[in-house]
Every structure is written in structure tokens, then in C-alpha cells.
Amino acid sequence: MDIEVVENERDTLRIALPKKEETLLIPLVEALQQEEKVVEARYYIGHPYLDRPTLYLRTKGEKPQATLKRVLKTLSDLYGDALADFDQKAEKARA
């Protein structure tokens, strides 16, 4: 995935994702907003043909990169478990 870091400050991070990857932003922002050290988490879609979807993250007391990595790991584990569970149930349904 072609991710571009647009802004990287002490307590803020702005990254641009490839076009058509905005679906990832909804669960990501929702999970980020649940974090204690996150002050603000939001995304911008912009113009569908001209702009890339952008994630904005502002934290307090923790680097935003560390927060983002932790939340991405949690989501990866959650969806990975869901995929494994689905695969097992699909295999049983075929039998």
C-alpha cells in the first residue's frame, strides 16, 4: 500500500492513503477515537478523482505513530481472527 506521510509533528500525524482505500479509514478512526491518549482522529475523503483519502491523528502524551501502530495491530488481530473463524465455518459448511 502506497502510504504518504504528509505531516509528522510531535503530537500530530497526517497520512495519505491510495485512492479507493478509504474503506479502511472508518474502522481505523473509530478504534483510534476509543484510545485514551487520542485527542482527535478523523479522516478526509476530498474529491474522489483529485484527492487521496487522508487520516489526521492528534495525541497527548504519546507519539501518534505509536498509537497508530498499536491500533492497527489490534485491528489486524481482530480481523485476522474473524477471517480464520469464517474459513473454519465455511470449511464445515462444504463438508
pTM of the model: 0.82
- pLDDT at position 61 is 92
- pLDDT at position 20 is 79
Structural domains of the chain, with CATH = 4-94 (3.30.1360.10)
Q: Burial of 17 by CB count in 10 Å (0-12 exposed, 13-18 middle, 19+ buried)?
A: buried
Residue at 4: amino acid letter: E
pLDDT tens for the chain, 95 residues long, are: 788 899 999 999 999 998 877 888 999 999 999 999 999 999 999 888 889 999 999 999 999 999 999 999 999 888 887 777 887 777 777 66
